[in-house]
Structure 1
Amino acid sequence: MSLWMILPISLPVFTITGIWVVYAMSLYNQHVCPVHNWLYNESCEEQLPLQRGPVLCCTLDNIPLISKCGTLPPESCFFSLICSTGSFMVMLIGLLRYAHVIEKHQNCVLNTAGLSAAWICAAGLIMVGNFQVDFAKVLHYVGAGVAFPSSMLFVCLQSALTYRLAKTQEEYRVAHLRAGMALLALVALVLSGVFFCQESFVLQHASAIFEWIYCMLIMLFYGTFAFEFGGMSGDTLVVLSRGGRGGRGGGGGEEGLQSFSTSGCKMEVGGGSNHHQPDNLSTL
């Protein structure tokens, strides 16, 4: 087992724990209402931080959306830290996954698109964490509009890529797991977006719950890369140093290019001998 598998496991552990800590801090400071609260009013006589008692008067400003939980200090500081750190880890995992596919198989459109989606998601996540919704609403919503769709695209691309490269029964089980998580995440994202646009307090509260579910699923999806990262070695970094050129069996170069397919990943053609190299060069 390679120590690289700690990286994809640490991302969901760190982010999921972190955002629940942010929620707990926000709840303690009475900046949002609890998740189990379904009663909201148009307005309240006192703002939530000034209220006392077991029954609280909540408005739409107190719905426990993830962004709302990280809007006000001190929890906003931790929320920004979690998003920035998580963004870096997403970029790193996406890059290593990209290189690992090239090392073990060959590069393809699905692999390149997956890397692009991961990095776009990371950029959106930085904006979400550092521009709070109550103080920079436009920039925050731009970041959310980038992060949510790109993260959904990433899990869909990686699910398809896993099926494309699967050879063993265990790899197919991982592919089934990822496809199921991607489907659940898609349902949660659609319901969250649809309910968020409604005027009903109940539906907007349901939107917050589905948003939490979606984020949990996406983070857990990243954790499944521990299956591939467990077999990763230093050769993966060599692939990156070559600018993404390489493949299983050390083919690389001209022979590696022959296994590239614009419709998806294909296995490498084979090593070949030296007397075939002039024919390959003339073909290119």
Structure 2
Amino acid sequence: MSMWMILPVSLPALTITGIWVVYAMALYNQHVCPVDNWLYNQSCEEELPLQSGPILCCTLDNVPLISKCGTLPPESCFFSLICSTGSFMVMVIVLLRYAHVIEKHQNCVLNTASLSTGWICAAGLIMVGNFQVDYAKVLHYVGAGVAFPTSMLFVCLQSALTYRLAKTQGDYFMAHMRVGMSLLAFVALVLSGVFFVQESFVLQHASAIFEWVFCVIIMLFYGTFAFEFSTVTSNTLMVLAKGGAQSTSHQDKMEGLGTANQHPPESMTML
């Protein structure tokens, strides 16, 4: 069993724990309201960090969106670190998955498209983490507009790719599970986007909850790559060193040699 399987398991463990720590820090510093709070006001006499008491006056600036939780220091520093580290891990996982598919099977359009969308998603995630929404709103929303759709597209492509390459019962089970996770993530993303643009305080709070659900599902999806990464070897890394096209050509040549050995020339048969 390869040690590389620790990588996809570490990504959700790090990111999910990290964003909940960011939420806890923001809640402790009264920068956001808790997720179980559904009562918001148009305005408050005092800003949330200056209030005290069991009952807090919350406005839409205090909705516990993931980005809002990581807007103000000190939690903003930790949020940037989590996003940057997570982005790097996503890039490595996507690249290893790309090489693993070429090594075990062959390259295809789905595999190449997954690599592209995965890396674009990582770039958007870096922008989300390092450009806080209250101080660089345009760049933050550009990053979110890149990261969220491409992450959804990535899990859909990987689900289709898993079905295409499935051969054993375990492969099909993994494909079924990934499709289920992709459907749940799609519903959460759509509801989060639809509720976010509404004027209702309740719906905007629901948008924050669905955003959390979407991000958790996506990170858990990356964790399922431990199933394939258990067979990653040094040969998988050699695929990257040689290039996918070369590896595929080499595989085709080997298959051609195998076919030639199974069917010797007619002159040899006559002898």
Q: TM-score, normalised by structure 1?
A: 0.89
Q: Match of 1:263?
A: none
CA RMSD of aligned residues (A): 1.8
Identity %: 79
Structure 1 or 2: more helix by fraction: 2
Q: Which amino acid aligns with 1:154?
A: F
1:271 positional shift: 3.8
Give the corresponding residue for 1:256.
252
Query: Aligned residue for 1:212?
Result: 212
Matched residue type, 2:139: L
Alignment match, 1:142: 142
Measure the CA separation in 2 of the matches of 1:236 and 1:98. Answer: 9
In the alignment, the residues of structure 2 paired with residue 129 and residue 54 of structure 1 have an alpha-carbon distance, to the nearest angstrom, of 31
**1:89 matched residue in structure 2:** 89
Residues 270 and 228 of structure 1: is their aligned pair in 2 closer, same or farther, counting only changes over 3 Å?
Answer: farther
Per-residue CA deviations over 1:231-268 (Å, capped at 9, x if unaligned) read 11110000000011465xxxx4266389xxxxxxxxx7
Q: Tell me how far apart the structure 1 counterparts of residues 253 and 222 of structure 2 sit (CA, whole Å).
A: 29
Please say if residues 41 and 58 of structure 1, whose CA atoms lie closer than 8 Å, have aligned partners that are also in contact. yes
Instruction: Pick closer, same or farther for the CA change 1:269–1:71 going to 2, 3 Å.
Output: farther
Partner of 2:181: 181
Match of 2:168 in 1: 168
Aligned to 1:50: 50
How has the CA–CA distance of structure 1 residues 195 and 130 changed in structure 2, closer, same or farther, with 3 Å as cutoff?
same
Q: Scaled by the length of structure 2, what TM-score is found?
A: 0.94
Output the CA distance in 1 between the equivalents of 2:140 and 2:126: 10
| Residue aligning to 2:157 | 157
1:102 aligns with 2:98: no
Matched, 1:72 2:72: yes
- Contact 1:26–1:32 (CA under 8 A) maintained in structure 2: yes
8 Å contact from structure 1 (residues 31, 72) kept in 2: yes
CA distance in 2, matches of 1:178, 1:257: 33
CA distance in 1, matches of 2:101, 2:256: 15
For structure 1, the residue ranges without an aligned partner over 5 or more in a row are 259-267, 277-284
- Aligned to 2:156, the other structure's residue is in SS state helix
Equivalences, count: 263
Asked if structure 2 preserves the Cα contact closer than 8 Å seen for 1:255 and 1:271, the reply is no
Partners of 1:102 and 1:246 within 8 A in 2? no
Change (3 A) 1:43 1:73: same
2:12 alignment partner in structure 1 = 12
Structure 2 counterpart SS, 1:128: helix
CA contact (8 A) 1:106 1:246 kept: no
Q: What per-residue deviation string (whole Å, max 9, x for no partner) do you get for residues 32-66 of structure 1? A: 00000000000000000000000000000000000
In the alignment, is the contact (CA less than 8 A) between 1:32 and 1:69 conserved in 2?
Answer: yes
What whole-Å deviation, never above 9, does each CA across 1:195-223 have from its counterpart, x for those lacking one? 00000000000000000000000000000
